[in-house]
Amino acid sequence: MNTKILGYPNSYLEVQLEEGEEFIVEKGGMILANGSYELETKIEAKTVNNWVAKIVGGKSLTYNIYKAKSALTMLFSPGKNADLFEIDVQEEDSILIEADVHFGRTKNLNLVLAKQGFKNTLNDGLKLRTIGSGALFLIGFGKILKHNIDSDTPILVDQDALIAYDERLEVKTVSKGLKELVTSGEGYLFEIKGKGRIWLQTREEESKSGGGGIISSILDIFR
Strands 83-89 and 134-158, how do they pair?
Answer: antiparallel
Nearest in space to 2 (alpha carbons), one of 15, 11, 12, 19: 15
Give the pLDDT of residue 67. 97
CA 143 to chain centre: 15
Give the pLDDT of residue 61. 67
Could you say which residues of the chain have pLDDT below 50? 45, 48, 50-58, 118, 121, 178-179, 181-184, 207, 209-212, 214-223
Q: How far apart are CA 109 and CA 200, in angstroms?
A: 22
Kindly report, residue by residue over 46-97, the tens digit of the pLDDT: 554 544 444 444 456 688 999 999 999 999 999 888 899 999 999 999 999 9
Q: How far apart are CA 92 and CA 115, in angstroms?
A: 17
Nearest in space to 177 (alpha carbons), one of 192, 191, 188: 188
The fold adopted by the segment(s) 2-222 is Double-stranded beta-helix (3.60.160)
Beta carbons within 8 Å of 178's beta carbon, 6+ residues apart: none
Q: How far apart are CA 204 and CA 81, in angstroms?
A: 11
Give the pLDDT of residue 6. 95
Q: How far apart are CA 218 and CA 188, in angstroms?
A: 13
Locate the domains of the chain by residue range: 2-222
